[in-house]
Structure 1
Amino acid sequence: MTTTPDRALTDDGVTAQTAQALRAAMQRLFAGKPQRTDGRLTKQNLWQEAGVSRATMNRAHTILAEWDAHVAEHGTATPGEARRDEEIQELKRKLADKTRENTLLQKRLDAAATAIAALHHDNTLLREELAARGGTVIPLHRPRGHDRQEV
């Protein structure tokens, strides 16, 4: 089998045009700006984005090694997915903080309500006891001027 000069294979294992198409597709996918796919970082999207067959992509060993290295280092999340995931994590952290704060405030509120109920109960018993003895409730604070003798 002879190869014509315009179909010569590059070091990537495919023609220069195919290598260029695959690399351009890779860059679009990594940048989160796909033109022909949903943008997920999958090999299926790579060959579809490049407009080549899967078999042709599979012959581009160097390019596939670059793809695999990038995916291993950065994960398969697109930039948009990564931003979304970071935002979700931040919102989850804020929710957890607010939940802890709410729990603390609820505990304080429950303690205050219990104390108020106990004081109300004690006050009611003391008033009943005082009424049974025929006494009256004397205010702790008298209005100003009430203590002075008028001359």
Structure 2
Amino acid sequence: MSQTTGEKIRAAAERILQGKPERSGGRITVTDLAKEAGLSRATVNKIEYRHLIEHFRTQSVSNPEADTSVEVWRSRYSRLEAATNAHMRECSSATKKLEAQLQTLANTVQLQAVLIEHLRSGGTEPTPLRAPPN
């Protein structure tokens, strides 16, 4: 059974007021309420839903737990920062591996170029080659 528009607005308001938005930034605004409900702002602003918007605003002011406060944002920021740092470590490790592989390939190409030049200049037996210092 699908939710009615009013039910969607109420559920969205509840999630925002609890600091657990799923689709929006969680700010106490009609725009975020509409995003959270999956509705257009025009729909939420219709006259028949004005009482829900007023209730939403009243609850946000009277309920200190309806928090999009600094603590909620700090918590969100901390989670995002931890995830970003983990991704950065993964990327750094992958980059180091790729750089090592690139250096190996560059050394191989350089050695082959020397061998080709030796053979072109009339050499019949290749001279032993040493890898260039890293």
TM tier relative to shorter chain: 0.3 to 0.5
In the superposition, the TM-score normalised over structure 2's length comes to: 0.44
* TM-score w.r.t. length of structure 1: 0.40
